[in-house]
Structure 1
Amino acid sequence: MSRIYHLKRVQRIPVSLEQAWNFFSNPNNLLTITPPFLNLKITNQVYGDEIYTGQIITYKVKPLLGIPIFWLTEITHVERLKMFVDEQRKGPYKLWHHQHHFKSIDGGVEMTDIVHYAFPFGLLGNIAHAITVKSQLNKIFNYRYLKVQELFGVWKGEGQ
């Protein structure tokens, strides 16, 4: 049986809620905050500058040994200026459910990512997670954290 894994990241960003939403809800900006080693390419026409419920986005990504993998996601929920969800419909995971939450705080925005994911192949998928995938996902989200700081600055609010 495949295990369901969970990843949660919180980042505080010194911009307005509107600025954060405009950046993160634009599918084309995913390329800006994705590490170059993944070689991510959006492969379909993306309409508009803001995601919408039902939107389909297709990608080619090379996460391991330069082998290209097709990935199709659907934006399944959008609450403007609050949250959106993307779910894999076809790709390397058995389950990929990624929530993006945004909340105004003093001095900026708190952005929270919550990802639930699972692998096919039962025990073999769980072993792959332990050997490579968990650390790969952490590298991706660490890169994104630093890239967001580079783009928008370091939050200097209380408690940091």
Structure 2
Amino acid sequence: MYKLHKKQNVPISLQEAWNFLKSPKNLEKMTPAAMGFKIIDGADRPTYAGQLISYEVTPLLGIKTKWVSKITQVEHLNYFTDEQLYGPYALWHHTHFIKEIKGGVEMEDLIYYKVPFGFLGRLFHPILVKPQLEKIFKYRSEKLIELFGEYK
């Protein structure tokens, strides 16, 4: 199992950050166009425990796949967790934390994941999967700055 941990400070209120994160439709804004990300179903309500959200995504090598996530935990103004039920990973557990800090909020992503295909997946992880995830989260960081400004 692998771990990806990212933090970013954003100059917005806790409520504004929560309102942005709890809308599944904002995930499209935060995903590079090259990923071919498209919400199919389940994003018509703010995030709630038990919510199922279906996407189409092209994570690697132009191969389109479906991804179904379940929101497993929600704590208002604090965090929510999504888990992949079906998709490109053998396991995907992603918790989105927010906390108020001086002059804004700290947004934190903690992801535990496993790649499919056993030994081959582990072999390609450092070559394909990890760089792709780093690229996606770099894009998200840049997009948050574009949308809300840079934390000073």
Identity %: 51
* Structure 2 residue corresponding to 1:29, chosen from 26, 30, 33: 26
Q: Which runs of 5+ in 1 are unaligned?
A: none
- Equivalent residue, structure 2, for 1:42: 39
Quote the RMSD (CA, aligned, Å).
Answer: 0.8
Instruction: Give the Cα–Cα distance (whole angstroms) in 2 for the partners of residues 45 and 21 of structure 1.
Output: 19
**2: CA distance, partners of 1:57 / 1:153:** 29
Instruction: Name the SS of the counterpart of 1:62 in structure 2.
Output: strand
CA deviation string 1:51-80 (max 9, x = no partner): 000000000001223221110000000001
- 1:129 aligns with 125
Counterpart residue type for residue 13 of structure 2 = S
What secondary structure is seen at the aligned counterpart in 2 of 1:103? strand
Q: CA deviation at 1:10?
A: 0.3
Taking structure 1 as the reference length, the TM-score comes to 0.93
Which of 131, 134, 140 is equivalent to 1:138?
A: 134
Q: In 2, distance between residues paired with 1:65 and 1:5?
A: 21
> Where does the alignment leave 5 or more consecutive residues of structure 2 unmatched?
none
Segments of 4+ in structure 1 off by > 6 A? Answer: none
The structure with the largest strand share of the pair is 2
Look up the equivalent residue of 1:115 and give its one-letter code.
I
How far is the alpha carbon of 1:130 from its aligned partner? 1.6
**Counterpart in the other structure of 1:103:** 99
